[in-house]
Chains A and B, each alone.
Chain A
Amino acid sequence: MTYRNSEVRVDDASDEILLGRAVDGDTGSFAVLVRRYTPMMRAYARRILSGSADVDDVVQDAFISAWQQLHKVQDPKHLKSWLMRITSRKALDRVRSARPQQDLDDVNPPAPVHHDPVRRAEAHAGLEALDRALAQLPDAQRRTWVLREVGGYSYEEISDELGIPTSTVRGLLARARKDIITRMEQWR
């Protein structure tokens, strides 16, 4: 018996218990949170970044930053969305530093995104169509859509985060929705 207390396991503990322990300095509990939320944060970062090269760096940065600020999480129920916020900020930092000259509102055709077909094979057909439609959106549209629909950002928050006027956010989102829906209708 390696674990001293077989009835309760740190691995199965609630976010609240783990968060409390991690705030108190228990790195083992933080490791459990890292395991628990790495797939979600990778998935979210992958949606914001068009390529996948920076995803691990972004998620690692996000966790390191999270460790430093864990005490700021007032309600453990918000831990997940708080981690999502840190992830999107780190991903957007990466976007900004990689291409400082690029106009966020550009409408150039996007580089094709290659997803592992096996990874998608079992996905629901609708989700697959959505995935394909998203892959064809210009970066700025896709990013805006992901922040809104996946990240739950308000228009104002997207405007702050991307440094663009709310009216531009509104326009990008409208175009993204229209393009996604049109493509998905065509494939039905």
Chain B
Amino acid sequence: MNENDMTGLAHDGFEPEDLDGHTLDELSAYLDSGRTPVNPSIEQSPGCRIALESLERLQRLSGELLASDTAAEEPADDGWVQGILANIARDARAGRRIPLSTELDRADLGITEGAVRGMIRGAEDAVPGVLVGRTRIDGDVTVPGEPVRIRVDASIAYGRPIPATAEKLRSEIHRRLSAQTTMNVEAIDIAVRDVQRLSEGAEQRG
């Protein structure tokens, strides 16, 4: 037992005298660099090679640690999730105010950008096999009649024809926006970001 060692560990073989003058820190850096360029002084030292092997083993284990720890954690329960949702500001994403044109002179009607995004997401309810992702509304929507362009990310179920499904989504969004807003929608671009495989749960539901 090395009495200078406050952690109470026995002499460990990783001191510079065991490593032909090299340090463990130096060996870690050498390992991080992929052992290139080759350092002959390290590679030819038996002490260093033993230490490198130990460091490599530790590195492999370190890479697995988080996944193993994560698997050992309990899944998040509903109370936990609700507790977080109760603490986030739901109105923080209102965005710009979009005016709604009206025949009535004195009426000043408007809708938030956030509400329009919700309306666009809602189109997925009417198109089987689609999830809407991020929605962008380009153009000055705060000025009535200004042309705007809608860009929508989407995910489509595996097996659904992508062009036809995207087209259905496009026309459903157009229908909803025309019915519920007075925006001058110049174009609706759909970008299919991924194809979603059926989950086991969905398969069981048929």
Contacts and interface: CB of A to CB of B under 8 A. Distances in A.
Contacts of B121: 21, 24, 26
Given A20-B134, A124-B64, A14 B73 contact: no
A7 B157 CA distance: 6
Interface string A1-28: 1011111111111101111110111110
B73 A42 contact: yes
Interface string A153-188: 000000000000000001001100111111111100
Contacts of B130: 5, 8
Interface stretch (B37-45, B52-60, B96-104, B182-190): B52-60
A149 interface: yes
A123 B129 CA distance: 40
Nearest to A32: B81
Given A16-B194, A21-B121, A25-B118, A31 B85 contact: yes
B58 A180 contact: yes
Interface of A: 1, 3-14, 16-21, 23-27, 30-31, 34-35, 38-40, 42-44, 46-47, 56, 60, 63-64, 67-68, 107, 109, 119-120, 123-124, 126-127, 130-131, 136, 138, 149-150, 170, 173-174, 177-186
22 contacts: A3-B205, A5-B124, A5-B131, A7-B202, A9-B199, A16-B153, A20-B133, A23-B93, A27-B85, A31-B85, A35-B75, A38-B75, A39-B76, A43-B66, A46-B69, A130-B65, A149-B62, A150-B62, A150-B65, A170-B25, A178-B24, A181-B14
